[in-house]
Structure 1
């Protein structure tokens, strides 16, 4: 199973989700092809009501601890309550990596 699928399954099992995107952004960074080291995760959950961003991120890190110990290098988290998501409707674009491969 791919790391992307593992992340999706672990989060889906542990957090009540209204929306989940797990985006492999490894290609935007230097390294060998077909790696799974850099991900952007967009989560919308009623579980985040009343929680600060750091508390939301800690909840995600707790679920993905094994992945972070086994090669997951970077995890961009965008966590929203359903009301926040209704206002924004999209996560911000990821910045370009200064070490990105040259095309």
Structure 2
């Protein structure tokens, strides 16, 4: 079992998304340094993230549906540790 209490939050986000959505492409970026001193910055340096994800489960889903799938996988983290999450969710073969 992985000790998630000491794991960088970006790694925990990636692990959760891999487990829930089995992405073929996944990039999690910690954007917190861009928001230092702003609302939602708790001083941890781990509050603002961007996710770029491609997964088969997104096929036939709307943009909102895809974002909801990501949000469900991260629900407890969004409620407690993540202040802001930018999501770019695509199905395989989707254009940019």
Give the alignment's TM-score, normalised by structure 1: 0.78
Describe how 1:10-89 pairs up with structure 2 within 5 A: 10-31=16-37, 35-84=45-94, 87-88=95-96
How much has 1:34 moved relative to structure 2? Answer: 5.2
Unaligned runs of 5+ in 1: 89-103
Unmatched 5+ residue regions in structure 2? 1-6
Runs of 4+ with deviation above 6 angstroms: none
CA distance in 2, matches of 1:66, 1:3: 12
Normalising by structure 2, we get a TM-score of 0.83
* 2:93 partner SS: helix
Give the root-mean-square deviation of aligned CA atoms: 1.4
